[in-house]
Amino acid sequence: MTRPLRVLYYNTFLPMNSSEGMVSRQFLAAARRLPDWELTTVPPYRETAVSANGAAPRRRKYAPAVLRRVARSFLSPISPYPIGPYLHARRMRERLTAVLHQNEPFDLAFFHLAQGDLAVLAETHARIHAPLVLRVPAPLAYEADYVLHRYMSRQDRQREQFLYAEAAAILVISTGMKQILAESGVTPEKIFVYPNGVDTAAFDPEAARRAEMRRELGLDGRKVVGYVGSFWPGNDVNTLLQAWRQVEAVEPTAVLLLVGDGVKLVEARRQSEQLRLQNCRWLGRIPHTAVPDVMAAMDVAVGPYGREALTFVSPLKVMEYAAMARPVVAADGGQIREIVQDGVTGHLYEPENAVQLTAKILTLLADPPTAVAMGRRARVLMQDWYSWDKVAADVMKLCRNVAAGKAEPPAALPGQVATVV
């Protein structure tokens, strides 16, 4: 009998209250259900660390918000000030040293790329002498330059390229990201597309409280369009609000639910006031366990992304909409084109085109039977191709191949073979 593959899994997103943290925890939970590998995590992590609402426990906040922001600017692992990166790297080195001393040699290193960890990842790879599989949630230098517009040092850029060169296999979440890496000089043959998954058991329309949630939110008898996600530069809420002004002109009783928070939230609310929008409901951040019920209250769900973000983003919320059998209107491009089959499971619109977005929303609001049928087909697609159990099993197979000295490409991408009729 073949023994389980011993894997060092380094992912500092695991304890974080962020979308990437949530994705990382859902992947790890599915991966740990598989018997063919043993994952030792750094930092150490157990599922019991997750709170009842699906997020990592939050520490009590005693300092004023301004002081917390100042502290984060200095102590962040990606701060331009040296103290933050230094302290983070020292802490991670200590944890890695403890793990390596307590365990037998690993068959494989599976690293989750993050800008604050580049130095530690490069050092660890040289230290453990095991084949490297690199999970890349975003091409870091590209994201820093073109999406987030934030500082990234020359050393970190060099370390990112070093890890790409050293990896036996690089896992990316979209074909657009694969193209970006290939154009930057990474060998295309070792880049494999494994999209994020979705928890189809948690996001189950049959178990959701649609009627109760609509009643609680005062939405009975009204058409509801919704957006759930972060308010960050990559999500084009600006275009959604411009489109909503035109939707209100045609459907004056329709309601737009906006769920989430982020650095662009204040700007979005200010824009809503400037446009004199009447029917926007700002729910803020809600517990992850409440998200399926809120999505179920929607008649149409929207996935707005800017052009640059579309090139590499894996749109988790679009997948969750689909898992909840919501018809989706989403920006056309990147992985969204593989998830949303235009006219079948939803509608696509040209990115940053408010006129097209308006027309697509109004089309679905005017034809509820078609919208419901699209949503049902979207649910089937998620169950067949994008469950976390399937993603974890596919990743494990590739890792076994890498440990054996070979890396074989995955099966055809879901969007290329799974046409739902």
Q: Mind listing the pLDDT tens digit of every residue in the chain (421 residues)?
A: 478 999 999 999 888 877 788 889 999 999 999 999 999 999 887 765 444 344 444 445 455 655 665 565 666 676 666 787 888 888 899 999 999 888 889 999 999 999 889 999 999 998 888 999 999 988 999 888 887 888 888 999 999 999 999 999 999 988 888 999 999 999 999 999 998 899 999 999 999 999 999 999 999 999 999 999 999 888 999 999 999 999 999 999 999 999 999 989 999 999 999 999 999 999 999 998 999 999 999 999 999 999 888 877 778 899 999 999 999 999 998 889 888 999 999 999 999 999 999 999 999 999 999 999 999 999 999 999 899 999 999 999 999 999 999 776 555 444 443 334 3
- Domain spanning 5-197+387-417: CATH superfamily: Glycogen Phosphorylase B; (3.40.50.2000)
Please state at what angle helix 83-102 crosses helix 118-128, rounded to 10 degrees: 30
DSSP 60: P
Residue 319's pLDDT is 95
| CA distance readout (Å), 56 to 25, 44, 50, 189, 346 | 9, 13, 5, 36, 33
What residues does 255 pair with on adjacent strands? 224
CA distance 177 to 142: 10
| CA distance readout (Å), 162 to 155, 158, 166, 185 | 10, 6, 6, 11
Nearest to 42 by CA among 107, 115, 112, 105: 112
Tokens 């899994």 sit on residue: 9
Residue 89's pLDDT is 87
Where in the chain are all domains bearing CATH 3.40.50.2000? 5-197+387-417, 210-385
CA distance 186 to 245: 44
Q: Is 328 helix (H, G, I), strand (E, B) or coil?
A: strand
Number of helical (H) and strand (E) elements in the chain, helices listed first:
18, 12
| Nearest-5° Cα angle at 166, 164 to 170 | 45
Query: Do the strands 328-331 and 300-303 form a parallel or antiparallel pair, or are they unpaired?
Result: parallel
| Nearest-5° Cα angle at 321, 264 to 51 | 70
- What's the chain's length in residues? 421
Query: Do the strands 300-303 and 224-228 form a parallel or antiparallel pair, or are they unpaired?
Result: parallel
318, two tokens: 């679009």
Please state at what angle helix 316-323 crosses helix 368-385, rounded to 10 degrees: 110
pTM above 0.75, yes or no: yes
Residue 321's pLDDT is 98
59, two tokens: 């520490």
Residue 249's pLDDT is 98
Residue 129's pLDDT is 87
Nearest to 234 by CA among 316, 322, 313, 138: 313
Residue 153's pLDDT is 87
| 41: enclosing H helix or E strand | strand 37-42
Residue type, 22: M
Residue type, 190: K
CA distance 18 to 112: 15
**Which class in CATH covers the domain with range 210-385?**
alpha beta
Strand boundaries in 169-228, DSSP class E: 169-172, 191-193, 224-228
| CA distance readout (Å), 156 to 117, 149, 182, 355, 381 | 9, 15, 19, 41, 39
Residue 280's pLDDT is 98
Residue 239's pLDDT is 98
Residue 410's pLDDT is 54
